[in-house]
């Protein structure tokens, strides 16, 4: 889902580079499946090359995320860049060439911005690197204080524990 789409105005390209800006809000799911709202500003540089236009985009903004350790909401910065070539008419010779109609005066950049944000989405989203998270037993936020829960025993050590007890009983 996206709102406030970003449209490139292909009808007002100068002979040299043209700069265009826009804003958008995109909803993207993180690696944990939580929906994040990205509010971004996109600065685009368009350079006409005959029937083609080289487009470079710089995305800057923020995402409303939820920490994967403590589950608290927080704001994080996002920034990425991407580029592609717009071609008027014909067929696309590759992934980085987007074909538009010969007479196109606009191009909706929003899907490419959303894709770029998805590709930059981290696997683990943390409010801070030192986040202690929640206690797995009682749910206490370990950033706010400690709890009296004993750490759970790891069953992978059971055989060694039994062997140790057997050795002690001899």
Instruction: Return averaged pLDDT per consecutive 10 residues of the chain, 170 residues in all.
Output: 73 85 93 93 92 94 96 96 90 78 90 94 94 92 91 87 87
At 101, list the tokens. 């109609």
- Measured CA to CA, the distance from residue 154 to residue 115 in angstroms comes to 41
Helix, strand or coil, per DSSP, at residue 128: coil
Q: Looking at residue 3, what is its pLDDT? A: 54
Q: Looking at residue 62, what is its pLDDT? A: 97
- Measured CA to CA, the distance from residue 65 to residue 71 in angstroms comes to 9
Q: Looking at residue 60, what is its pLDDT? A: 98
Q: Looking at residue 154, what is its pLDDT? A: 86
Q: Looking at residue 88, what is its pLDDT? A: 85
The torsion angle over the Cα atoms of residues 12, 13, 14 and 15, rounded to 10 degrees, is: -150
What count of other Cβ atoms lies within 10 Å of the Cβ of residue 61?
19
In the chain, where are the structural domains located? 2-120, 132-170
Indicate the pTM of the whole model.
0.79
Distance, first Cα to last Cα, the chain: 68
């Amino acid at each position: 889902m996206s709102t406030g789409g970003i449209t490139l105005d292909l009808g007002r390209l100068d002979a040299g580079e043209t700069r265009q800006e826009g804003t958008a809000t995109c909803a993207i799911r993180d690696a944990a499946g939580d929906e994040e709202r990205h509010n971004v500003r996109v600065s685009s540089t368009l350079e006409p090359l005959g029937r083609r236009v080289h487009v470079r985009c710089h995305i800057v903004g923020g995402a409303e995320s939820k920490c994967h350790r403590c589950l608290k909401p927080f704001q994080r910065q996002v920034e990425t860049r991407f580029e592609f070539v717009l071609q008027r008419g014909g067929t696309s010779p590759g992934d980085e060439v987007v074909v538009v109609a010969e007479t196109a005066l606009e191009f909706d950049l929003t899907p490419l911005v959303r894709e770029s944000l998805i590709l930059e989405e981290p696997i683990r989203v943390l409010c801070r690197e030192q986040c202690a998270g929640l206690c797995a037993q009682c749910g206490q936020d370990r950033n706010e204080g400690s709890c009296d829960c004993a750490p759970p025993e790891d069953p992978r050590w059971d055989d060694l524990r039994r062997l140790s007890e057997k050795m002690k009983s001899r």
